[in-house]
Amino acid sequence: MAIQNIRVLVVDDSAVVREVLSRELGRQSGIEVVGTAPDPYIARDKILQLNPDVMTLDVEMPRMDGITFLRKIMQHHPVRTIMLSSLTPKGGEMAMDALDAGAIDVLCKPGAAYTVGDIIPILAMQIRAAAGANFGKARSLDLPRPAQPVAPAPKALLQTTNRILAIGASTGGTRAIEDVLMAFPANCPPTLITQHMPAGFTQSFALRLDRICRMEVREAVHGDSVIPGVALIAPGNHHMVLRRSGARYLVELHQGERIHFQRPAVDELFGSVAEYAGKNAVGVILTGMGSDGAAGLLKMRQAGAHTIAQDEKTSVVWGMPGEAVKREAATEILPLPSIAARALELCVENVPARMERP
């Protein structure tokens, strides 16, 4: 029996973008572009007519913006959607709104910053991941979200925590990371986060988390100290790694080769945490496409760190955590609502009062 291609609808007001995406995606194995639309009104009719598996949707369009259209379509005829946004501050904010509205992932449109050659392999991966995504978890808001921190007493956390918490995620990860961080107290463990996301979008993501979470959340800057009460997010188009300077932890950013087509890559972060923090770290791999992070999480576990993988039931895409489980990189497999409490418990459990010197 032949495997059916993933049917894709491309929605963009630019005729050039529609033509390029249709042509290049049509060359990707297992993907068939069944139609295009220049605006949401025509897209609505095409969705009903063609019943696509996945839709790529431009954020900024005339007559009706992509966010408004996405909210409407998710109410009446849900479609797995990947949003394409311009690389601007406004585009980054709208990308976050798109994820809130039910988009499975966001990607930067081809242009001056990202060429078609950069975008198409990643977009093809996202389309394949979206087609197999746990769509209910991508769209629903029914997972428990603690109103109060599920943490040990703040005083004890401040006095004893030297462990670093490293988190990696991709597809569906923005919501999963938000759920974890919102359960943390203001004096959370030093936290490093790599989420697959383009440059510009990570800044908007960090600003949004900083507004709604108790701790400080910001996009990392080269040389930032890794300290309690602060969560650092790897900037798009930069790998983030952990380093030590005497008794101080800090982060460094670099633009080395993409890993698993990604920059930032979770493997790069986890590998550095394994090397420089070892048993004084906790690793968490959340929902995401592909296998990025599995090898790094295994290094962390082998270095003595406690490692957690999100379970399949609560993951939008069980690619990254599933691969970590397959490689026996995870000490524990937990549902998303249990991860924050367990990570905090591990970060204050049997931690030496002073950081060991290298």
pLDDT of residue 118: 78
When comparing pLDDT for 107 and 356, which is higher?
107
* Cis check: omega of the bond before 264, within 30 degrees of 0: yes
Give the catalytic positions in this structure.
Answer: 170, 196, 292
DSSP letter string, 111-158 = SSSS-HHHHHHHHHHHHHHHHTS-HHHHH---S---SS---S-HHHHH
Least-confidence region, from 136-140, 167-171, 304-308: 136-140
pLDDT of residue 88: 62
pLDDT of residue 137: 61
pLDDT tens per residue across span 27-72: 999 999 999 999 999 999 999 999 999 999 998 887 888 999 999 9
* pLDDT greater than 60 at residue 171: yes
3-state helix, strand, coil in the chain (%, to 5): 40, 20, 40
pLDDT tens per residue across span 308-325: 999 999 999 999 999 999
CA dihedral 246, 249, 253, 259 (to 10 degrees): 110
